[in-house]
């Protein structure tokens, strides 16, 4: 065949495969495969991972769970960087919040059960929580935790954290 319809033969122990592709397409396909492999290696060398936060002890399947990821420089637990909050559905009285593309380092997570699905952490007139809440590392809930109480480290491709929710009312 000519250069536009080059036949490429691959020999394997199970037999022979013949592929007819234009030479340019074959080169582009191989280039794409190599690029994907290189990108995967770059992510690993840059220290980028995924955090799966498993939220348990939800008292119902109503509403949603809202999780916010904090870095040491954030105002934990009130305010984090923009884009670090995820909202997930509840299934079988549990939920999983996934944070992708997280650089290796120290983090903390705040989660709450948004039972009425209004996107807010509801409190009564005394400031007491009306919805379930919890923190990574599950510190006690009698006092407001500091970042160090809820801190965990991302130093591998996937980190799993379990957060147990607490309900006061």
Q: Quick one: 106 and 140 in the same domain?
A: yes
Q: Are residues 24 and 62 in the same domain?
A: no
If asked whether residues 67 and 29 sit together in one domain, one would say: no
Is 169 a domain residue?
no
- Residue 108 domain flag: yes
Q: Which residue range forms the structural domain that includes residue 153? A: 50-164
**Do 130 and 76 share a structural domain?**
yes
Pairing of strands 158-164, 48-56: parallel
Q: Are residues 81 and 22 in the same domain?
A: no
The total of structural domains in the chain comes to: 2
Asked if residue 91 and residue 57 are part of one domain, the reply reads: yes
Instruction: Evaluate if residue 157 carries a pLDDT over 60.
Output: yes
Digit-coded pLDDT (tens) for 29-85: 556 555 544 544 555 557 999 999 999 999 999 999 999 999 998 989 888 877 799
Q: Which residue has the higher pLDDT, 9 or 63?
A: 63
pTM above 0.75?
no
Tokens of 158: 């996937």
Q: Is 148 helix (H, G, I), strand (E, B) or coil?
A: helix
Task: Give exposure, 39-50, as e/b (b: 16+ Cβ within 10 Å).
Answer: eeeeeeeeeebe
Is residue 106 domain-shared with residue 122, that is, in the same domain?
yes
Average predicted confidence (pLDDT) for the chain: 84
pLDDT digits (tens, 9 = 90+) for 120-144: 999 999 999 999 999 999 998 788 8
Tell me, yes or no, whether 124 and 139 share the same domain.
yes
Residues 95 and 142 in one domain: yes
């Amino acid at each position: 065949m000519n250069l536009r319809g080059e036949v490429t033969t691959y020999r394997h122990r199970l037999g022979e495969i013949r592929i007819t592709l234009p030479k340019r397409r074959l080169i582009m396909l191989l280039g794409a495969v190599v690029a994907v492999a290189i990108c995967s290696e770059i992510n690993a060398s840059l220290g980028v991972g995924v955090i799966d936060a498993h939220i348990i002890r939800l008292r119902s399947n109503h509403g949603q769970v809202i999780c916010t990821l904090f870095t040491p420089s954030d105002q934990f637990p009130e305010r984090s960087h923009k884009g670090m909050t995820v909202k997930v559905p509840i299934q079988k009285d549990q939920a999983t919040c996934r944070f992708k593309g997280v650089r290796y380092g120290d983090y903390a997570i705040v989660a709450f059960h948004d039972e009425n699905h209004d996107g807010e952490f509801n409190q009564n007139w005394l400031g007491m929580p009306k919805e379930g809440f919890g923190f990574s590392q599950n510190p006690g809930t009698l006092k407001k935790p500091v970042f160090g109480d809820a801190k965990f480290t991302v130093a591998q491709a996937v980190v799993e954290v379990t957060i147990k929710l607490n309900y006061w009312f």
